[in-house]
Structure 1
């Protein structure tokens, strides 16, 4: 399996304060292949993913940042302290990564083992809009707005500890959004506050929630004690139709609301007006509020998410909608959408691929 020859995280994976100059080929179509992987326990499929993406991830992890990357002992200790249920899977991943590093002729070191803890990673700021409805059925819809070159392009279905989990992969075993077979659905969006602190990459937090929690209340308890490296909004819904949006950040206590919507700022008022304006966070949130007030169906949600202001084509600014995801836990399926194209994946679907072409503005 080839995912793009290591084009994953670049040396500057988060948007700058001012948009960069528009490149000459900014309007060219962007063809991509999205991979669906079903592997209950990490094995050859995950190892192939690691091999294809590790050069890029290694550069990303070792890039110059505001703080140096943690020592291996520190990173492993934090994982064991806060996510002990993931430690057996982590050890399996480290073994597979070591085999892959040796096979591609790289010198052995501890970088992969450190990176895979996802403790205190480099900063990255995806966009995103997300909304939940619970009538007539539960559905969570979200847009993931980011650079196509930095998108992992993998839907991973697993059962690391017995509970089935499916979602959009990030950082090799994290998830930007996902669902488990108890009907819990979780989605993340950047929270709008710049800066970082000691904590986990939020995509691993999403993975952990789906691995160990069955209800929104259990997710809330975990988030109340989990250190997170940057500010994010996490929207959660369970099979009992309980909805939660949590604002988490490294320098403050989590804030919990029953809001079914989130974009890229905390609550109603952005902490960073500049960031909110640059990425249209307030207009997108206002559109989501209008949308959920109409009691939309899942089809209505998708239709709205595929149109402005929720849908963005500013791919050259790392703010383009690379996918729209719809989770329908009652049918145990997720769908990915692009204009004129959809792809359904369930917990037990075999490996597959989907050819996508993104069209910049």
Structure 2
């Protein structure tokens, strides 16, 4: 139930590719853990991660995913904004929000983790789905994204039926 315990577990879990995993506990302790198949897990005290770890190792991928630009935009957003509403709004716009779904580089959702009440909000432009450990609702959401044609704004989507 603590960031330290999660980090200890992540050090022992084998992975098939590189991931940056963000962890936070109810006391506000956070860490980003860089896990890789070819080297030990590394803990860094960063609040922002995108599609690269210390630096760009795969230039084409970083360019395609706008990894460096997204990281800089989110860092700037966090420094400038005190409210969750402002930060979330920034996550819903390029460069943080990516719309290149046809190239496998689109944002699927933005997650707002709330450790104090053990809940999460999954956010799409115009739609929010909240789930809580205390009151979990077994539901399914189907989101269909449309690529392109949105002038750099978040794409339109069709929300499917919600079933219990």
Task: Sort the TM-score into its range (normalised by shorter chain).
Answer: 0.7 to 0.9
User: SS where residue 73 of structure 2 aligns?
Assistant: helix
1:309 aligns with 2:75: no
1:43-88 per-residue CA deviation (whole Å, 9 max, x = no partner) reads xxxxxxxxxxxxxxxxxxxxxxxxxxxxxxxxxxxxxxxxxxxxxx
1:272 aligns with 2:54: no
Residue pairs, 1:139-218, within 5 angstroms: 214-218=1-5
User: SS where residue 322 of structure 1 aligns?
Assistant: coil
Q: CA deviation at 1:220?
A: 1.6
* Of 116, 126, 140, the match for 1:340: 126
What is the TM-score of this pair, normalised by structure 1? 0.39
How far apart, CA to CA, are the structure 2 residues paired with 1:247 and 1:253?
Answer: 9
How far apart, CA to CA, are the structure 2 residues paired with 1:313 and 1:287?
Answer: 16
Over the residues paired in the alignment, what is the CA RMSD in angstroms?
Answer: 1.7
Q: CA deviation at 1:355?
A: 5.5
Q: CA deviation at 1:308?
A: 0.3
User: SS where residue 263 of structure 1 aligns?
Assistant: coil
- Provide structure 2 residue ranges, at least 5 long, that are not aligned to the other structure: 149-164
1:352 aligns with 2:139: yes
Pair 300,270 (structure 1): closer, same or farther in 2 beyond 3 Å: same
Tell me which of the two structures has the higher relative contact order, counting C-alpha pairs closer than 8 angstroms and 6 or more residues apart.
1
User: SS where residue 234 of structure 1 aligns?
Assistant: strand
* Of 23, 28, 39, the match for 1:241: 28
Pair 220,321 (structure 1): closer, same or farther in 2 beyond 3 Å: same
* Of 18, 38, 47, the match for 1:251: 38
Please list every run of at least 4 consecutive aligned residues from structure 1 whose deviation after the TM superposition is greater than 4 angstroms. Answer: none
User: SS where residue 116 of structure 2 aligns?
Assistant: helix
Pair 222,290 (structure 1): closer, same or farther in 2 beyond 3 Å: same
Which residue pairs with 1:289 in the alignment? 75
Mean Cα deviation higher: 340-349 or 258-267: 340-349
* Of 3, 16, 19, the match for 1:229: 16
What is the TM-score of this pair, normalised by structure 2? 0.81
Residue pairs, 1:311-326, within 5 angstroms: 311-326=97-112
CA contact (8 A) 2:24 2:115 kept: no
User: SS where residue 224 of structure 1 aligns?
Assistant: helix
How far apart, CA to CA, are the structure 1 residues paired with 2:132 and 2:7?
Answer: 26
Structure showing greater Rg = 1
User: SS where residue 245 of structure 1 aligns?
Assistant: strand
